[in-house]
């Protein structure tokens, strides 16, 4: 909802600037709209257009980088989850309760982050962001009684994997909860609003011009929406894919 609101306000500001420019044509004296005035204003507008394009490009790159980093961490966490399950399975029947606990953790994560893809509704807390569920797994693994060197090796491997999984959990939390500074969005919107005002000020007042300015404003608002959505990779309508954890869940259940 946050992204939709920002994108809607952006569209209203940008298209409102264009309409304001069209309306100002009938108010300003004719010499303000002369060819010489247009050339001078276009020089300044071109500079602002360059800066706005640069800032928007940097914002898209930064947001996409955040999205990609969280996606990579999700894939690595799912792979470590599968590896932990296999290690516990190789340990022996004594680790079966831990495998069941791991299954519950993965089900909780899938239900909390991707409820639309989870066939079984869950009321659990956010297993990825709250509590110390992974650390609890480390403690439970450490409490297993090793009967032979092979089991001891499996136990050590499981502890190492679970520790790495806990680290990835906090990395995902930090990456996904970092907020995009609102100022970085407001300033380009202000610049682009001024640009559409200038375009409307010197453009002919006809339906074709209004339609073009409308779709230009809609396109910029769409770019702002993508920036806001990709900067929150675990929320909103553009999330990282849930397939890695669904695959992990299927393998654990076998």
* pTM for the predicted model, two decimal places: 0.79
Short-list 166, 201, 192, 210, CA closest to 77: 166
What's residue 190's pLDDT? 93
For residue 127, the enclosing domain spans 2-25+37-253
Per-residue pLDDT band for 131 (boundaries 50, 70, 90) equals very low
Residue 124 has pLDDT above 50, yes or no: no
Q: Confirm whether 121 is domain-assigned.
A: yes
Residue 114's SS3 state is coil
Q: Confirm whether 32 is domain-assigned.
A: no
**E strand or H helix at 171:** helix 149-177
Average pLDDT over residues 108-130: 57
What's residue 118's pLDDT? 52
Q: What's the CA gap between 130 and 244, in Å, rounded? A: 21
Short-list 157, 174, 166, CA closest to 105: 166
Per-residue pLDDT band for 117 (boundaries 50, 70, 90) equals low
Q: Confirm whether 101 is domain-assigned.
A: yes
Q: Confirm whether 21 is domain-assigned.
A: yes
Q: What's the CA gap between 87 and 89, in Å, rounded? A: 5
Q: What is the pLDDT of residues 33-46, one digit of tens each?
A: 777 777 888 888 88
Residue 193 has pLDDT above 90, yes or no: yes
The total number of structural domains in the chain stands at 1
Q: Confirm whether 85 is domain-assigned.
A: yes
């Amino acid at each position: 909802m946050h992204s939709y609101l920002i994108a809607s306000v952006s569209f209203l500001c940008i298209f409102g600037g264009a309409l304001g420019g069209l309306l100002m044509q009938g108010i300003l004296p004719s010499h303000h709209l002369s060819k010489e005035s247009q050339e001078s204003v276009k020089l300044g507008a071109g500079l602002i257009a360059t800066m706005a394009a640069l800032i928007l490009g940097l914002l898209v790159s930064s947001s996409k980088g955040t999205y990609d980093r969280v996606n990579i961490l999700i894939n690595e966490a799912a792979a470590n989850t599968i590896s932990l399950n296999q290690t516990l399975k190789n340990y022996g029947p004594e680790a079966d309760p831990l495998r069941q606990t791991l299954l519950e953790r993965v089900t909780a994560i899938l239900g909390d982050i991707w409820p639309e893809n989870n066939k079984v509704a869950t009321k659990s807390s956010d297993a990825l962001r709250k509590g110390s569920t992974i650390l609890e797994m480390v403690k439970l693994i450490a409490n297993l009684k090793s009967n032979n060197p092979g089991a001891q090796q499996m136990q050590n491997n499981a502890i190492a994997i679970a520790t790495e999984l806990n680290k990835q959990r906090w990395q995902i939390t930090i990456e996904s909860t970092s907020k995009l500074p609102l100022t970085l969005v407001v300033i380009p919107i202000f610049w682009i609003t001024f640009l559409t005002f200038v375009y409307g000020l010197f453009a002919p007042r006809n339906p074709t011009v209004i339609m073009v300015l409308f779709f230009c404003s809609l396109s910029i608002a769409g770019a702002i929406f993508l920036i806001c959505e990709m900067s929150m990779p675990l929320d909103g309508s553009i999330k990282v894919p849930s397939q890695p954890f669904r695959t992990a869940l299927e393998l654990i259940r076998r």
